[in-house]
């Protein structure tokens, strides 16, 4: 349900799902305190590594919301969002895609390998323009996506790309906890 005529904000976490100290969780709390309607896509227990299961989970959440939504995705949540956007009929006002993971190129040691990601349905990353306005935030030193590559994806999606500087993967380990720019970007959408 929307607050007034504002769209519902839907938080799309990555593989690690909802983490209380993550900027997405803190953003959700701040927006709720302001009276905004917010939904966090819940963790799934079955097939959680499969793209199809994650996309279906996002569709369940968004299709149950009356009116438009603004998606706020991080990392793998960005990939869930762009895969989902290729097939949904739901009304989307816009999307904030922060630090998308690049699963089309090798990841650092300790992460899933490319053949496994392909088998789980994550590749290739869709390159069609999104049907709604979007903002991609790219980091210059993100271990999960080279800056130039994320810029290319943003261009393919028709997204405005913001250079966030050297902010790692925009997670709690990189000092993002509270991230005021996220709220500002949601307001722009």
Nearest CA to 138 among 130, 129, 126, 148?
148
Cβ neighbours, 10 Å, residue 68:
17
pLDDT in tens, 48-69: 789 999 999 999 999 999 999 9
Nearest CA to 65 among 107, 152, 3?
3
SS3 92: strand
* CATH of residue 150: 3.40.50.1820
For residue 138, tell me if it sits in a domain.
Answer: yes
Give the sign of the dihedral formed by CA 94, CA 34, CA 179, CA 73. negative
Order of strands across the sheet that contains 8-12: 38-40, 8-12, 69-74, 92-98, 134-138, 160-163
Nearest CA to 23 among 13, 33, 15?
13
Structural domain boundaries enclosing 171: 8-188
For residue 184, tell me if it sits in a domain.
Answer: yes
Joined together, the tokens standing for residue 133 give 């306005």
DSSP β-bridge partners for residue 95: 71, 134
pLDDT in tens, 1-25: 445 579 999 999 988 766 788 999 9
Q: How long a stretch of residues is the chain?
A: 189
pLDDT band of 36, cuts 50, 70, 90: very high
pTM, to two decimals: 0.94
For residue 2, tell me if it sits in a domain.
Answer: no
Domain tally for the chain? Answer: 1
For residue 3, tell me if it sits in a domain.
Answer: no
For residue 135, tell me if it sits in a domain.
Answer: yes
pLDDT band of 46, cuts 50, 70, 90: confident
């Amino acid at each position: 349900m929307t607050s007034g005529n504002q769209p519902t904000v839907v938080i799309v976490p990555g593989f690690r799902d909802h983490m209380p100290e993550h900027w997405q969780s803190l953003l959700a709390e701040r927006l709720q305190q302001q009276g905004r309607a917010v939904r966090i896509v819940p963790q799934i227990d079955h097939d959680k590594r499969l793209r199809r299961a994650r996309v279906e989970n996002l569709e369940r959440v968004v299709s149950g919301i009356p009116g438009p939504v603004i998606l706020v995705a991080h990392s793998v949540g960005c990939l869930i969002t762009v895969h989902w956007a290729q097939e949904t009929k739901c009304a989307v006002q816009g999307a904030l895609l922060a630090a998308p993971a690049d699963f089309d190129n090798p990841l650092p040691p300790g992460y899933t390998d490319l053949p496994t990601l392909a088998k789980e349905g994550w590749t290739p990353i869709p390159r069609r323009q999104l049907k709604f306005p979007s903002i991609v935030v790219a980091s210059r030193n993100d271990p999960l996506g080279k800056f130039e590559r994320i810029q290319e994806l943003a261009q393919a999606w028709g997204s405005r790309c913001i250079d966030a500087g050297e902010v790692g993967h925009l997670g709690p380990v990189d000092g993002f906890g509270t991230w005021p720019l996220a709220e500002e970007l949601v307001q722009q959408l």
